Homo-oligomer: A and B are copies of this chain.
Amino acid sequence: MLSISHRGQQMPSSPIRKLVPFAEAAKKKGIKVYHLNIGQPDIETPKQIMDAVRHADFKVLEYSHSAGHESYRRKLVEYYKKTGIQIDHTQIIVTTGGSEAILFGFMSCLDAGDEVIIPEPFYANYNGFAVAADIIVKPITSVIETGFALPPIEEFEKVITPKTKAIVICNPNNPTGYLYSRQEMETLKQIIIKHNLYLFADEAYREFCYEGEHISAMHLKGVDEHVVLMDTISKRYSACGGRIGALVTKNRKVLDTVLKFAQARLSPPSFAQILGEAAVDLPDDYFDGTKLEYLKRRDTLVKRLNAMPGVFCPNPGGAFYAIARLPIDDADRFCQWLLESFSYNQQTVMLAPATGFYGTKGLGSNEVRFAYVLNTDSLNKAMDCLEKALGQYQTQVMNAGVGVLDDKLV
């Protein structure tokens, strides 16, 4: 029968990209849109690593090894050593972005109906990979009042069942920017040992920590079999389009299984492996400049937000995201309204409603995520817009009833 699969129907649309048509319409009207909605860094990809691709000397663009070029994996060992992670090149499988590392990890360790616990709000695409792998996400809630700290251990215990196979963390966190403390990482270690769970650690933003040190899941002692690192060079080197990530673990059975999935798709992209290999040789101070820039932006953003009436934004310790609570009724409606019905000096701002990052329905309806991927000047202009917008939205929409807008939202 000619039908769409149930999983295809369940597959969520990207909560971030669903506002794109409204942004496009705004631009057609001549309105400048400040994009704070998506984690596409504006930082230039380092010229040295682009040059490595430009000057690569080969005649045939061949498949690489299914686990990635051996030379790249050996180079990655050096990179990880600098971050305090001791592995060898056979413990790395190069993937097509961090995305594929997540999918392969889910597929290799969990069967249909198995469960992963993820502190919410979380990276929305985990939902997509969970649907693809036919597994169930059990969210436990981090709250804005604590700055989205790890929920207490009891919250994990409440949702653990015989079907629970893993915990997923993203550290520093997308979408909250929260950086897990050593204490919190040790708590996670206790849980995964006690309940014999995998710890899937998404550390895409490892380099971007502004308050304290990054504690990798791979730094935890005595849980080598449990920890599966899902990594990517996308944000680290502003190389999102390269689609190169890695799955790293000391668990040999997991590696052997992931390799079979990797073999089925033959190999990860070759060009960006060359780029990734060159990136390991960037000067050690490369991240200093990038970090300083993000730090300035974070400080600007958080200060501006907390100065607005009724707005609360905890100070994120890492990544380049922040979630703020706004004096609004419905974040999805507000973000659409910003694009569809608002402008200030022919400008507006595009944000990501936080609802898309929660697994629990109803949460996040007065929260939005900011990706501070614009320079401070643009950020300030975006904040000017937001400040005006909040006032106008409260007067014109929230106090005016919602009938008219409802029609548009159908």
Contacts and interface: CB of A to CB of B under 8 A. Distances in A.
Q: Most B CB atoms within 10 A — which of A64, A238, A241? A: A241
Contacts of A12: 260, 264
A4 interface: yes
A392 interface: no
A62 B241 contact: yes
Contact of A226 (B2, B45, B240): B2
A5 interface: yes
Contacts of A59: 44-45
Given A2-B197, A110-B5, A270-B242, A264 B14 contact: yes
A218 interface: no
Given A7-B107, A257-B11, A1 B196 contact: yes
A125 interface: yes
A42 to B, nearest CB: 7
A76 to B, nearest CB: 18
A171 B175 CA distance: 45
Name, among A2, A103, A275, the residue most crowded by chain B CB atoms within 10 Å (CB to CB).
A2
Among A6, A14, A66, A129, which residue has the most Cβ atoms of chain B within 10 A?
A: A14
A111 interface: yes
A132 B7 contact: no
B2 A225 contact: yes
A263 B147 CA distance: 29
Contacts of A96: 96, 243, 265, 269
A146 interface: no
Contact of A64 (B132, B241, B263): B241
A335 to B, nearest CB: 17
Contacts of A11: 257, 260-261, 264
Interface in A1-50: 1-9, 11-14, 17, 40-45, 50
Nearest to A41: B60
A140 interface: no
A299 to B, nearest CB: 23
A264 B61 contact: no
B63 A240 contact: yes
A242 B268 CA distance: 8
A353 interface: no
A292 interface: no
A12 B6 CA distance: 25
29 contacts: A2-B225, A8-B109, A8-B260, A11-B257, A12-B260, A14-B264, A17-B263, A43-B60, A45-B59, A45-B61, A60-B238, A61-B241, A61-B242, A61-B275, A62-B241, A96-B269, A97-B265, A99-B264, A112-B112, A112-B134, A125-B264, A125-B266, A132-B261, A241-B267, A242-B271, A243-B268, A243-B269, A243-B270, A271-B272
